Amino acid sequence: MKLSSVLCGVFATLTVAFPKEYLSLATWGVEGYAKDNPIGITTGGKGGKTVTVTTAEELVAAVKGTEPKIVKLKGKVTLPSRLKVGSNTSLIGVGLTAHITGAGVDVYHGDNVILQNLKITHILDNDCITIRNSTRVWVDHNEFSSDINQGPDHYDGQVDIIRASDWITVSWNYFHDHWKSSLVGNDATFRDLDFGHLHVTYHHNYWRNMGTRGPAGRFGHQHVYNNLYEDFLYQAIHSRSDNQVLVEGNVFRGNTSEALSTYGLVIPMDSPNTCTCGDEELDGYANLGAKNDWGKAGVNITQKGNFYKADYKYKLTPLKLVPTVAKLGAGVGYFLRKVKANAHRHPWPVFLIVSSAEIFYNNPDILQCYDMVEDVPICLPFQCNTYQVKENDTCTSVSEYLGITIKDFISLNPWIRDDCYDFPSGTIYLGKFVCTTPSDGHYNRTTSKSDPTDSSYADEVIPRPENASPAANQECGRWRNEIWDCESRCGYGKDCGPDQRPIEVFSSYQLLAVDYANIGCFESKEEYVLPGKDYMEWGNSTLEECANFCTASLEADYFALQTKYYSPLEQDNFCICGNQLNPSIKKLGIEEESADEKGDVCKGKGGTYIYTTNSKILNRIILYKSSTAQPWDWSKEIVLITGGSGGIGSEMVNKFSHRNIRVVSFDIHPPKSTLSTNAHFYKVDVTSPQSIHDAMEQVRRKIGDPTVLINNAGIALGKDILACTADQIKQMVEVNLLAHFWLVQELLPSMIKQKHGHVVTIASVASFITIASNIDYSCTKAGLVAFHEGLTQDLKHRYNARDVLTSIVFPYWVRTPLIQNLTTHSTFQDPLQEPNEAAEAIVDHVLKGRRGDLFLPGYAGLLSGIRGFPAWIQEMIRDICWVEAGKAIFCTYFIPVAWSYKWRYRITVKPFPVNGTTAARNPTPAVPPPTSA
């Protein structure tokens, strides 16, 4: 029997059809709260000893203690009592047969635990897994089941998270045939213990034939995204007892009764049955993020909460792909590829090198080299001898050197065009490996899709060329899969037309392929290639945000450059359009959903335009004018925030500290809640230069010199001019304006000396438009515009410190006590932002090293142009925007008019420059507003 027949006959049966662009989803590392939290990423037993166990006794002994350890379970064990898993432990099932029954698993008073690839079924004593008083637990790629016919009280939960546990991720699990699945917070009387904890992420789980709790939560925060629910008999997602849940990108199918409920009634099938009608608790809260597919299921949201956005980075699977991705990716067996450091740049090894084209052709589930999964076999029709490309190589020189024909060389490497034009071409493959012949031995040559008639290697003995090297592992150079049809989906699900081909972009420099399905379609049958070294590095998460609308003209020799601008936390997605090496690129087409703005002529080096998405708006900025050339190491930076105990300031303190960035808060009032270990509070009167200096002496001794200053402290009265006392007006000027001088004088010398720093001035839209009952406040905020402009000029021209950044922020109405006197009346109509939304935008701006102005939300920038109107129009706008006795009319009705006059603005208006918009909203408050400014 031929070797290739054996390999393909065995391996092909194990190959699973999977959406190409999401093949590697199920092998991602930890995401969500178990990754992004104040304590640190969940690593389990990383760095410890690895032990393999096969019996219950061995398992019990292996998971004890707190020293780092990786415990691998082979086969089925029946536990006589519950398994106590210690801290710093990874318990991982081997293959498809690791199975726990008899008793469940407890993580009590633990930290840093990973539970993966386990079947846990028919547990009678308690839950399958109980997480209690524990932090950083990752429950991933497991399968849980019992027998739903036994009724709701025969078995308990599958994964219950209770007693102030925190920072948990439950991902890629298969829950089926059970009543009560996953409960977060198991007692309505434990408010004091649980409140402020129970942060849990549920993503890409598959629930089928279930009763309730998918999940049910009390007192915590659950982020539930990209899960599949089939035949959930009663309440699937249930938020009660003041719980907050963010639900997005989920799909509900079959006879699911109620997809989401915040009603406090706990039905009898999900309650201790103290009443025949169920138990009454307080209602919970829910917010909807990305679109969900509710199917035929009902949705009952009695009150919206304030959990609008998760405080971490995550990638949503397109809604239409969720059923396929969840079914094929959830459960045991898929997580087996253990990702190494920099695995996205260094492909996963296989046993022997093969032609990359043959890997793709014979394994259609593999699109990119790093899609290969450990222990999941692939079909290798023939193995390959290799040659390492050298400078000035051509098809002819390589073929002659190896003693093979050019036709054979191309057929073995079908990413090379028939005329050899693209080898090595502009993207020279120095150091990359190409296939020369199949390895020594007797092989059946599989025909190449690029040349179906080629059979030159059919069933014959192939000697190794004298100058070729035998391969020991897979060397993934740059390649492409031959695509001769248009069945692939292009960006945002758009079908390629009959004369188009899916775009495929590769970086040979980084050994990285980018999925063509996220990019778009070329307007011709030509396939363009892209040099990966010409501008910047790029990562495998760059293109979904922007590349789908960045396309080159037909005159381009290759696709306009798309890359990632690496900000300090690598969270910035940019699309740089145009290539200085290719002068034939004439213009740029920009498309983003309904936006129809067209780009300008690409300017080349020094003036390259950058486009980034903002929901419906494309922001255009100049790279060298918008960000600093100085690198920011956020493990070393120190952020000082004034007014850090309430409102936007408190939210910024939390957001910086949750990112493990050291942050100092200056405020006259203490914080309302306990700060994390990397956040430090100092009681400071910002109106007193001496108080500021004394506090800074302590900060320098204990922490160091702050490199970021956010002047946020502010007060407002909301009174007309005759109602303000002299002391009130004086305090207003001192806090809102003069304090900025004192803080800058104290901190700026260190920034100038280091030529590194960032001063952020929190002003207001009131800087541009003054309305009744707000004169004192507007005067101080208008002064901050001059302060920011002058400080920027001093740094550039007096101190030669251009790398010390300056930014000014103009929030519109934000729901804080600062504006309570102006916004509480029932006739107030302007939209309100939440403090956490404004804070997230400011933090994002700082982390990305941006300078300049930031309007919150973006459209508020249009009001900055009021002074460009004739005086009578200005006064009319102020009249319509009047505020008296708490009444306000929606003054932004004039935005369309202002837009037409933008050429007269005294300050350049820029849309909101962050990924996504800060949506302004004014709902009924879901939770009481904070009590301090």
Q: What is the DSSP letter of 87?
A: S
Q: Is the pLDDT of residue 389 over 90?
A: no
| % pLDDT > 90, the chain | 38
Which pTM value belongs to this model? 0.43
So where are the chain's domains? Answer: 3-11+339-462, 29-45+95-329, 638-904
Q: What is the pLDDT of residue 541?
A: 26
Q: What is the pLDDT of residue 742?
A: 97
Average confidence score pLDDT of the chain: 68
Q: Is the pLDDT of residue 29 over 70?
A: yes
Q: How many CB atoms are closer than 10 A to CB 362?
A: 23
Strand extents, DSSP E, 310-429: 384-388
Any bridge partners for residue 174, and if so which? Answer: 143, 206
Contact 724, 717 (CB under 8 A): yes
Please state, in angstroms and rounded to a whole number, the distance separating the CA atoms of residues 79 and 872.
Answer: 83
What string of DSSP letters covers 475-489?
---S------S--SB
Q: What is the DSSP letter of 656?
A: H
Centroid of chain to Cα 415:
33
Instruction: Compute the average pLDDT of residues 705-734.
Output: 91
Q: Which of 830, 820, 836 is nearest to 895 (CA)?
A: 830
The amino acid occupying position 485 is: D
Please state, in angstroms and rounded to a whole number, the distance separating the CA atoms of residues 361 and 364.
Answer: 6
Q: Is the pLDDT of residue 909 over 50?
A: no
Q: Is the pLDDT of residue 901 over 50?
A: no
Q: Give the pLDDT confidence of 573-591 residue by residue, as tens digits.
A: 333 333 222 222 222 222 2
Using CA atoms, how far residue 653 sits from 217, 661, 679, 737, 814, in Å, is 27, 10, 7, 21, 17
Q: What is the pLDDT of residue 602?
A: 29
Phi, psi of 73 (to 5 degrees): -100, 125
Please state, in angstroms and rounded to a whole number, the distance separating the CA atoms of residues 126 and 849.
Answer: 51
Dihedral, CA atoms, 747, 749, 754, 755, nearest 10 degrees?
A: 100
Helix, strand, coil percentages in the chain from 3-state DSSP, rounded to 5 = 25, 25, 50
Q: Is the pLDDT of residue 498 over 60?
A: no
The amino acid occupying position 873 is: I
Query: Lowest mean pLDDT: which of 10-14, 227-231, 412-416?
Result: 10-14
What string of DSSP letters covers 879-919?
HHT-EETTEE--GGGGHHHHHHTGGG-SS------SSS---
Instruction: Compute the average pLDDT of residues 693-709.
Output: 94
Q: Is the pLDDT of residue 554 over 70?
A: no
Determine which one of 82, 213, 337, 480 is catalytic. 213
**Burial degree of 458 (CB within 10 A; 0-12, 13-18, 19+):** exposed
Q: Are strands 512-514 and 505-507 parallel, antiparallel or unpaired?
A: antiparallel
Encoded tokens for 476: 């993934």
Encoded tokens for 876: 């009319």
Contact 829, 881 (CB under 8 A): no
Q: What is the pLDDT of residue 318?
A: 83
The amino acid occupying position 375 is: D
Encoded tokens for 245: 């849940």
Identify the residue with better confidence: 512 or 641.
641
Q: Give the pLDDT confidence of 617-645 residue by residue, as tens digits.
A: 222 222 233 344 457 888 889 999 999 99
Contact 608, 574 (CB under 8 A): no
Please state, in angstroms and rounded to a whole number, the distance separating the CA atoms of residues 693 and 699.
Answer: 10
What does the radius of gyration of the chain's CA atoms come to, in whole angstroms?
30
Identify the residue with better confidence: 712 or 428.
712
Please state, in angstroms and rounded to a whole number, the distance separating the CA atoms of residues 450 and 407.
Answer: 12
- 3-class secondary-structure state, position 614: strand
Please state, in angstroms and rounded to a whole number, the distance separating the CA atoms of residues 664 and 679.
Answer: 6
Please state, in angstroms and rounded to a whole number, the distance separating the CA atoms of residues 202 and 182.
Answer: 10
Q: Give the pLDDT confidence of 146-178 residue by residue, as tens digits.
A: 988 888 888 999 999 999 999 999 999 999 999
In sequence order, which residues have a C-beta less than 8 Å from that of residue 790 and are 6 or more positions away?
none
Q: Which of 744, 749, 778, 747 is nearest to 761 (CA)?
A: 744
- CATH level 3 topology of 638-904: Rossmann fold (3.40.50)
Q: How many CB atoms are closer than 10 A to CB 786?
A: 11
- 3-class secondary-structure state, position 174: strand
In sequence order, which residues have a C-beta less than 8 Å from that of residue 341 and are 6 or more positions away?
none
Contact 240, 284 (CB under 8 A): yes
If pLDDT is split at 50, 70 and 90, which confidence band does 364 have?
very low
Q: What is the DSSP letter of 341?
A: T
If pLDDT is split at 50, 70 and 90, which confidence band does 92 have?
very high
> Of 357-366, 637-646, 868-877, 890-899, where does the model show the most confidence?
637-646
Query: Lowest mean pLDDT: which of 134-143, 227-236, 471-480?
Result: 471-480
Please name the CATH architecture into which domain 29-45+95-329 falls: 3 Solenoid (2.160)
| CA angle at 215 for the pair 213 and 216, rounded to the nearest 5° | 70
Q: Give the pLDDT confidence of 254-312 residue by residue, as tens digits.
A: 998 899 999 988 876 776 555 556 678 899 999 999 999 999 999 999 999 999 999 99
Q: What is the pLDDT of residue 785?
A: 93
Q: Give the pLDDT confidence of 853-882 residue by residue, as tens digits.
A: 888 877 677 777 777 778 887 777 767 665
Instruction: Compute the average pLDDT of residues 87-94.
Output: 93
Instruction: Compute the average pLDDT of residues 823-844.
Output: 72
Instruction: Compute the average pLDDT of residues 7-28.
Output: 34
Q: What is the pLDDT of residue 438?
A: 57
Contact 79, 56 (CB under 8 A): yes
Q: What is the pLDDT of residue 608?
A: 29
Strand extents, DSSP E, 701-745: 708-711
- 3-class secondary-structure state, position 268: helix
Q: What is the pLDDT of residue 570?
A: 31
Q: Is 213 a catalytic residue?
A: yes
Query: Lowest mean pLDDT: which of 103-107, 657-661, 812-816?
Result: 812-816
| CA angle at 135 for the pair 846 and 52, rounded to the nearest 5° | 120
Please state, in angstroms and rounded to a whole number, the distance separating the CA atoms of residues 335 and 536.
Answer: 31
Q: How many CB atoms are closer than 10 A to CB 419?
A: 10
| CA angle at 460 for the pair 454 and 463, rounded to the nearest 5° | 105
Q: What is the pLDDT of residue 28?
A: 53
Any bridge partners for residue 72, and if so which? Answer: 52, 92
Contact 499, 524 (CB under 8 A): yes
> Of 119-133, 457-471, 553-567, where does the model show the most confidence?
119-133
Q: Which of 444, 419, 440 is nearest to 362 (CA)?
A: 444
Query: Lowest mean pLDDT: which of 93-102, 220-229, 318-327, 686-695?
Result: 318-327
